[in-house]
Chains A and B, each alone.
Chain A
């Protein structure tokens, strides 16, 4: 007789190796994306975050072409893009958007070239789908140690950067006055974003990694008053959406007669639904953040 549990969780879920690998790497991607995403949202750099993901797809497709680890491909190209965005960038926000847009276009163009070469000179059929939308259940378990290394490094970096990053994100002028190297911090932040994006690119794909970076952070900033709590919440929401998405994708195999839904879709759909619910319920502590800042500023002054 089927219990409620066995109805919700189809048999074999916990013993399946593809599920286990996806759950571990997905959690790492969700934690790092949530933590980094909060800063990205506060800094108003959602577009830069999405752009890094797009550009990193060139690295992912190059990795397919040259047979290197895809995570290294995504990461290498993402860091390169982060550096070019930050080094070329101007001080006005509008011009920063411009540079980001130009770098994104160039990166996606290179991705188009590499994907073409992947599909016409080597034998990788699904390269485009895998790179752009992820192939979570096809991740080889051998990638786990590297993924965890990247994830832990990103978290350590955020830990070290925490105070100056927070200050320069909330009030760049004050940070500059107090001697924080704002531009260096900005560059380091983008490099950590590139690490987060690389991790989520191998799970939900380069294009959809924005969903994991921005979505949970946006929800958490609606719910939490304090940045520290928002970071914890964003990581938790990210993990819940990722594992929930994996479960739905796994179970959908039974509902669809063996076709199954793409796991990336399930994850991003959960994040989107959660955002809609939170945005409708009127819990908008995000608006309170500037008040927290001004309180701090007054204290500092």
Chain B
């Protein structure tokens, strides 16, 4: 009787589909970490049920540039089999923790290295570049397949699915460029510059000012004057405002742009959660920029 009931349960599990296969194939999911939550999102889309993903940088109210790891984060990183980090000095603390807790067979994807970017790359916000995530997804699939060869086909298929799902975003960028190419824009720091450039925007904020705000150093007064003039003389059509790096200076720019009636679009260092995937977040940014140009409507924060 006891024997019978076990076999019944087992049969039921087999017929229940993918969930049972997962259970049967591997009861231990791969531990993975996306240092920034946008990378964690891609890992979970590629790894599906076979990964347990954690994100370290998730808080949209803080600046990841100045993140300090807690002992809890150090433990999670020590236990992870796959880690995706941004590089370009953006999350250098993660490298320190990894070298302090060496783990054989740990797969580390450094997006900077993956894309072959030099250390002196001026703009570390790689996830806004349309070229970044397809390469990251492929690398994730390859590493997951190495960790769990039985599911290789599943991972590669998911990566392809993910890359295909970026098509609406790429199409929106291309359409935007045709319709609004060379639109002048002001920014606080280079967080979304890669995407803005792909969209054909003409970024008028001096890069030295963007860098000073990003690094938290004293801005040059010439640059502050230039930026204020962009608003005062209505030379820009939209203002991309990083919601995660704010100080009295960026707030004064926000005031100036509101005063001049220039619409503001919020951009982010980490994926706004909940409710967004990488694809829907990027699409929402393009939609917000388009809304700013067509209806002069601000989208200061992305909310769902």
Are A and B physically bound partners?
A: yes
Judged by a CB distance under 8 angstroms, whether B277 is at the interface is no
Is the Cβ of A138 less than 8 Å from the Cβ of B246?
no
**Residues in chain A near residue B218, CB distance under 8 A:** 129, 133-138, 260, 262-264
Judged by a CB distance under 8 angstroms, whether A140 is at the interface is yes
Within the complex, what minimum Cβ distance (angstroms) separates B64 from chain A?
Answer: 10
Q: In the complex, A123 Cα to B219 Cα: how many Å?
A: 18
**A69's closest neighbor in chain B, by CB?**
B248
**Band of interface residues on A:** 35 or more
Judged by a CB distance under 8 angstroms, whether A94 is at the interface is no
Binds B, one of A15-23, A25-33, A184-192, A277-285: A15-23
Within the complex, what minimum Cβ distance (angstroms) separates A224 from chain B?
Answer: 33
**Band of interface residues on B:** 20 to 34
Judged by a CB distance under 8 angstroms, whether B222 is at the interface is yes
Is the Cβ of B219 less than 8 Å from the Cβ of A119?
no
Output the residue of A116, A130, A250, A264 with the most chain B CB within 10 A.
A130
Within the complex, what minimum Cβ distance (angstroms) separates A2 from chain B?
Answer: 17
Judged by a CB distance under 8 angstroms, whether A124 is at the interface is yes
**Residues in chain B near residue A126, CB distance under 8 A:** 213, 215-217, 247
Contact flag A16-B248 (CB < 8 Å), given A125-B216, A258-B208: no
Of residues 66 through 92 on chain A, the ones whose CB sits less than 8 Å from some CB of chain B are: 70
- Partner of B61 from the list A122, A127, A130, A135 (CB cut-off 8 Å) is A122
Judged by a CB distance under 8 angstroms, whether A121 is at the interface is yes
**Residues in chain A near residue B225, CB distance under 8 A:** 12, 15-18
Binds A, one of B65-73, B151-159, B166-174, B197-205: B65-73
Judged by a CB distance under 8 angstroms, whether B279 is at the interface is no
Of residues 250 through 280 on chain A, the ones whose CB sits less than 8 Å from some CB of chain B are: 250, 253, 258-260, 262-264
**Residues in chain B near residue A259, CB distance under 8 A:** 208, 220
Contact flag A18-B245 (CB < 8 Å), given A116-B68, A119-B62, A122-B62: no
CB contacts between A and B, total, < 8 Å: 105
Is the Cβ of B246 less than 8 Å from the Cβ of A12?
no
**B214's closest neighbor in chain A, by CB?**
A125
Judged by a CB distance under 8 angstroms, whether B110 is at the interface is no
Contact flag A19-B217 (CB < 8 Å), given A119-B63, A124-B246: no
Is the Cβ of B219 less than 8 Å from the Cβ of A138?
yes
**B228's closest neighbor in chain A, by CB?**
A17
Is the Cβ of B66 less than 8 Å from the Cβ of A12?
no
Q: In the complex, A263 Cα to B220 Cα: how many Å?
A: 9
Is the Cβ of B222 less than 8 Å from the Cβ of A125?
no
* Interface flags, B86-104, vs A, CB<8A=1, else 0: 0000000000000000000
Q: In the complex, A129 Cα to B214 Cα: how many Å?
A: 12
- Partner of B67 from the list A22, A120, A127, A129 (CB cut-off 8 Å) is A120
Judged by a CB distance under 8 angstroms, whether B134 is at the interface is no
Is the Cβ of B61 less than 8 Å from the Cβ of A125?
no
Q: In the complex, A126 Cα to B188 Cα: how many Å?
A: 14
Contact flag A123-B216 (CB < 8 Å), given A18-B224, A258-B206: no
Is the Cβ of B221 less than 8 Å from the Cβ of A123?
no
Judged by a CB distance under 8 angstroms, whether B146 is at the interface is no
30 contacts across the A-B interface (CB closer than 8 A): A15-B225, A16-B224, A119-B63, A119-B66, A121-B61, A122-B62, A123-B244, A123-B246, A124-B246, A125-B63, A125-B65, A125-B213, A126-B213, A127-B216, A127-B247, A129-B217, A133-B218, A135-B218, A137-B221, A137-B224, A138-B224, A138-B248, A138-B249, A250-B221, A253-B220, A258-B206, A258-B208, A260-B218, A260-B222, A262-B217
Q: Which 10 A-B pairs have the closest CB atoms?
A: A126-B216, A18-B221, A125-B216, A260-B220, A119-B66, A138-B249, A258-B208, A137-B221, A18-B224, A125-B63
